[in-house]
Amino acid sequence: MGLLSFILVFGLLIFVHELGHLLAAKAFGVRVDEFGFGYPPRLVSLGRIGGTEITLNLIPLGGFVRMNEDDPTAPGGVASRSRKVRAVVFAAGSVMNLLLAAALYGVTYMRGALEPVAKPGAGIYSVAIGSPAEVAGLEPGDNIVALDGQAVASVEDAIARIGAAAGTAIELSIEREGNLLPPIEVVPRLDPPPNEGSLGITVDLPLERVSYPFWQAVPLGFRAAYNTVRAMFWSIRQAVTQRLPMEVTGPIGIYQMTAEVAASGLTRLVEFTAFLSVNLFLLNLLPLPALDGGRLVFVFLEWVRGGRRVPPEKEGMVHAIGMAMLLVLMAVVTFYDYLRYFG
């Protein structure tokens, strides 16, 4: 189930992203020669649709739409089109990932979204990386219902009792998705990092899943996607200022997380897929060569230069070097993922 879930999730994200490029290109009459899953060398051709060859390739780290991005003299290619058309086509894949995230979040609201409720206990809203809570397996969305066998009356009660137990082992009774887990033992820290607390969790009112009708779930889905983008920008800023560790995960790490989430139910898997889709939205807009954001940088430079384009051979070389560097970086990240999970 873990492998199947990973293939479906990763395949959906790549398909939707490349579909965005394809649809935008077709809308402007751009000739699309190939719609590829994975990166070359090619394994097999799956046929043609509307003049576009569908292929399956060897390196399963993404996908591409071949529409002649580098040669402005080639007839019908995207490189020969105006700045506006190129900008729309290059950005369309990321926009589709953001729309997919909003749609998937909407589905989770229809199936049941976590909402704070007024009842005894304390809900876990976030878990800090490397904290005792993360090591013990606590997750956002869990509810603390008892400490050392005694029921938790309120959020304040949980905070006071966890703080008083700093440095000694305590036993947590955790409710997850309506089910009571086996007791979890954890030791609150005596001297935690700033803004983390002794366990490394943020707590508030207990959480329960509440379902919404379609007309309410759709705007809530867009709001959730927007909030996820904001949260990621905040995390990036915290990492740049060294207030949080910089965490980079490759295919092995994503596979492990997908398998774990899939084991906890379909709703959480859909929500996790939406989160990954927002990640892909932001990643592809980074101003790095070979990514969509890198191509948008060259469109912007053309506008700044009063319509004078960077020579195609130079732009192509930049993107080729960037792709090689990205593949090397992905190999390094994958190696460290392997050591982290299997080393």
DSSP assignment string, 64-105: EEES--S-TTSTTSGGGS-HHHHHHHHHHHHHHHHHHHHHHH
Same-domain status, 328 and 203: no
Cβ neighbours of residue 114 under 8 Å, at least 6 residues apart?
A: 123, 141, 207, 208, 209, 210
State pLDDT tens for residues 13-72.
Answer: 999 999 999 999 999 999 999 999 888 889 999 999 888 999 999 877 778 898 988 888
Does residue 298 fall inside a structural domain?
yes
Q: Read off the pTM.
A: 0.78
Does residue 222 fall inside a structural domain?
yes
Interhelix angle 83-111/2-27, rounded to 10 degrees, is 140
- Find the Cα–Cα–Cα–Cα dihedral 64, 70, 71, 76, rounded to 10°: 40
Last residue of a domain, one of 184, 210, 236: 210
Task: Give the pLDDT score at 84.
Answer: 93
Contact by Cβ (8 Å): 196, 130: no
Task: Give the pLDDT score at 44.
Answer: 93
What totals of helices (H) and strands (E) does the chain contain, helices first? 9, 11
Identity at 96, one-letter amino acid code: M
- Structure tokens given for 27: 């809308």
The CATH number covering residue 165 comes to 2.30.42.10
Same-domain status, 187 and 324: no
Task: Give the pLDDT score at 100.
Answer: 97
Does residue 50 fall inside a structural domain?
no
Q: In 162-275, at which residue ranges do the beta strands (DSSP E only) sit?
A: 170-176, 179-180, 184-186, 201-204, 207-210
**What element of type H or E holds 251?**
helix 251-263
Same-domain status, 219 and 325: yes
d(CA 170, CA 139): 17
State pLDDT tens for residues 266-278.
Answer: 888 899 999 999 9
- Per-residue pLDDT 10s for the chain (343 aa) are 678 888 889 889 999 999 999 999 999 999 999 999 888 889 999 999 888 999 999 877 778 898 988 888 888 889 889 999 999 999 999 999 999 999 999 999 998 888 888 899 999 988 887 789 989 999 888 999 999 999 999 999 999 999 899 899 999 999 998 889 999 999 999 888 877 789 988 899 999 888 899 999 999 999 999 999 988 888 777 777 766 666 777 788 888 888 878 877 788 889 999 999 999 999 899 888 888 999 999 999 999 988 888 888 888 889 889 888 888 888 888 888 888 777 6
d(CA 218, CA 225): 11
Same-domain status, 267 and 192: no
Domain of residue 166: give its range: 115-210
Does residue 268 fall inside a structural domain?
yes
Same-domain status, 87 and 227: yes
Interhelix angle 312-342/292-304, rounded to 10 degrees, is 150
Task: Give the pLDDT score at 245.
Answer: 65
Same-domain status, 197 and 134: yes
State pLDDT tens for residues 132-145.
Answer: 998 999 988 899 99
Does residue 171 fall inside a structural domain?
yes
Same-domain status, 181 and 306: no
Domain count, the chain: 2
Contact by Cβ (8 Å): 117, 145: no
Last residue of a domain, one of 150, 180, 210: 210
d(CA 311, CA 328): 26
- Structure tokens given for 149: 């066998």
Same-domain status, 233 and 332: yes
Task: Give the pLDDT score at 253.
Answer: 82
Last residue of a domain, one of 188, 210, 232: 210
Task: Give the pLDDT score at 173.
Answer: 95
Task: Give the pLDDT score at 129.
Answer: 74
